[in-house]
Structures are given as structure tokens and as C-alpha cells.
Amino acid sequence: MAPKGRGRKREPAGKAVAPPEAPPAAPASEEEWAYEVAHGEASADLAPIVGRNLRRLRTQRGLSLERLAKASGVSRAMLGQIELGQSAPTINVIWKIARSLGIPFSALISTTAQSGTRLMRATQAKVLASHDGSFTSRALFPFDEPRRVEFYELHLAARAVEKADPHPPGTLENLVVTVGQVEIDRGDERHVLAAGDAILFEADVAHVYRNVGNVDAIMFLVMTYAETVG
């Protein structure tokens, strides 16, 4: 038997001891985690930008990581890693988070506003990537000004498929293929575009980009929102 007064540390009277916070729950599998994390093709310097914006926007709305995880379908562990700037999310993960927060995609990847002429060098581009690197997106516009239109350069590897979740109601996608051959699926619609072909469609339902050729496809996308964002 331990001597009286020994064996455990006594806390000062009247001071409650808070229980330790439970560690973030891990994803169900290694495959799930790998799907949430962007491929190495993504820009490393984009991770801290997304992290800062996510933490600010989440706390402004009074959401815990648990509540945001349930609303977005992205694991709590992954959301925590993103906020710390330790993991670069995939394009689809960013879309899921943006939709659950009720914000445009670009709000999570915006940087400090600048005025006047904006020159965006290809060598300094911030690239978003899918989990396997087969799909990449480069924004060709500044994020920090009110707008209804956004402009992207898209790359899709040969025979690769990229599935996109529905965008906010009233969102339009105007896409032109410059290299390769791409099939666009929207609901029951299916359209095959060769180099030089363009398409305009309402993007508020799930849609798919499918490279049906043997070369990497290059596309340019103009996205128009129903309301001004930014």
C-alpha cells in the first residue's frame, strides 16, 4: 500500500482538469487517405494557402472539424491536416469543402489582393491535381476581385477519367479542347469533343471528363456563376 498522500498528484482545489482532446479519427483505410491527398503534381506552396483559408472560413461559421467533416464527406483527420498546411487536397476534395461551406471554389485558394496589372507566369503557377496526378487544373485569373467568371487550363492524361460533383445552381461551364479528344458526360447526355470543339452546359449536376484518346488532352474552361463571388 502506498504511503498516505502519495501515489497520485493532487490538483489545486477548485481547478478543474480538462480531459485531453480526442485525436482526429483516421480515415477508414489507406486507400481513402490516398484519395484525399493530391498527387505530387500539385503546387506545394498551395497547401498553406488552402489551410489558412479553410481555418478562417470554418471558424467564421462556427463549425467544428467534426461538423464540417459530416457536411463535406471529407474525414476530420484530413481536414485537420489541410488546416495545418501539411496536406494538399485534391481538386474534388476542395470542391466538397467549398460546397459544404457555401463558397466558391476559388475562395479556398485565394491569396493577398493586389491592384493594377496582374502577370501570372507559367513557372509560378499554382496547380491543383487529382489524387493520381492524371488531372490538373491551373487558374488563369486572380482570385481576389469580385467576379462571376473564372478561367482555367485543364490537363487530362490519356484514357483518364475525372468525375466532378455538382456546382452551385446556375453555374455554367464553357469548355474548349485544344489538344486531344475528350468525352463530356452530363446526366444522360454524352458529347465527344475533338481539338477545336467547344461546349457550354449547366454544371449544377454531376458531370464527367473522359479522355478517349491516346494523348494527354488540354482544355480551357470558363466557369460562370449565377451570382458575383469574391
- Note the pTM of the prediction, 2 decimals: 0.58
pLDDT of residue 77: 92
**Residue in 136, 144, 153, 138 with CA at minimum distance from that of residue 118:** 144
The three cell numbers of residue 153 are: 487550363
pLDDT of residue 158: 98
Interatomic CA distance for residues 159 and 39, integer angstroms: 18
Cβ neighbors of 172 (< 8 A, separation 6 or more) are: 200, 201, 202, 203, 223, 224
The answer to whether the beta carbons of residues 172 and 201 sit under 8 Å apart is yes
pLDDT of residue 144: 60
Burial 136-167 (b: 16+ CB within 10 A, else e): bbbbebebeeebeebebbbbbbeebbbebeeb
- pLDDT tens for the chain, 230 residues long, are 444 444 444 444 444 444 444 444 444 444 444 556 666 666 667 788 899 999 999 988 999 999 999 999 999 999 999 999 888 888 889 989 998 998 877 788 876 544 557 777 888 777 888 989 999 999 898 766 667 889 999 999 999 999 998 988 999 999 999 999 999 999 899 999 999 999 999 999 999 999 999 999 999 999 998 877 65
Q: What is the 3-state secondary structure (H, E, C) of the chain?
A: CCCCCCCCCCCCCCCCCCCCCCCCCCCCCHHHHHHHECCCCCCCCHHHHHHHHHHHHHHHCCCCHHHHHHHHCCCHHHHHHHHCCCCCECHHHHHHHHHHHCCCHHHHCCCCCCCCCCCCCHHHCCEEECCCCCEEEEECCCCCCCEEEEEEEEEECCCCEEEECCCCCCCEEEEEEEECCEEEEECCEEEEECCCCEEEEECCCCEEEEECCCCCEEEEEEEEEEEEEC
Handedness of CA 156, 160, 165, 170 (dihedral sign): positive
